[in-house]
Amino acid sequence: MSGKIQNVGVIGAGQMGNGIAHVCSLAGYSVKLNDVNAERIKTALATINGNMTRQVSKKTISEDDRKNALARIKGAEKYDDLSDCDIIIESATEKEDVKRKIFTDVCAVLRPDAILATNTSSISITRLAAATDRPERFIGIHFMNPVPLMELVELIRGIATDDPTFETSKAFVASLKKTIAVAEDFPAFIVNRVLLPMINEAIYTLYEGVGNVEAIDTAMRLGAHHPMGPLELADFIGLDTCLSVMQVLYEGLADSKYRPCPLLVKYVEAGWLGRKTQRGFYDYRGEKPVPTR
């Protein structure tokens, strides 16, 4: 790996991508934000500006920090625009075929020494790396949502990831003022391996009528001191994302304890995916969220 990271490319301008661009630019990196949809890049830049303005009002950053950071982020509509990046962080949708296609296309324009990272929350790093021309320079850098607020990043090596890539990535993540948890490349890594089965179990508790939505969330908030109840958290994450992580666990580890709850499947089939669709375990269309069961 030649020298240190200066230019960062982020692929995918959704909630995670704009958060990653946000923290990288505040840490002093030049950032190029790419998305298949040019409108989404515009929206992301507006969101980043809004979130940084909130940080200024909370006095966590200065107005100069905000201006300078925003000046360091540029939209990049084509992969060609990413050719000078030292590291690319892919943050597209959690679908393996989509990610593999992105890697194939972007590898064609990258410098041979550039690091390729994925923000996947559950897909095998080794398998994704095998779809690229640089498995030894491929790594998992999994940020938590919302990225500017969450202190943790999981760092995951694939079987082929070499030491310089790991060390460079580790130094890069530390420079973003994040704490690193190194995880082995097994389905869903650490956080989601522990968190998602808990959410799935909460949904089973609802499905079996042990408690209603309100009782389950109150029990875990006040009985286990969780800042958010598991069903409220599922709505925040997105029920489609919860289901896809449970499917990865179930298929990857072949253990019946990871079987996605049929009620979770039903909600996803109904298109009730949580906050982003206004309905999930709660209905968000009124003044305050109301349980849907």
Q: Which residues are catalytic?
A: 121, 142, 154, 192
Helix 213-223 vs helix 191-207: crossing angle, to nearest 10? 140
Report how far apart, in Å, the C-alpha atoms of 78 and of each of 12, 35, 91, 125, 134 are.
Answer: 12, 8, 16, 25, 21
Query: Which residue's entry shows tokens 């949580």?
Result: 274
C-alpha–C-alpha distance, residues 65 and 62, integer Å: 5
Using alpha carbons, select from 81, 78, 92 the residue that is nearest to residue 30: 81
Cα–Cα distance for residue pair 147/204, rounded to 1 Å: 29
| Residue where the block lists tokens 């972007």 | 106
Distance from C-alpha of 179 to C-alpha of 155, rounded to nearest angstrom = 10
- Percent of residues in the chain assigned helix, strand, coil, to nearest 5: 50, 15, 35
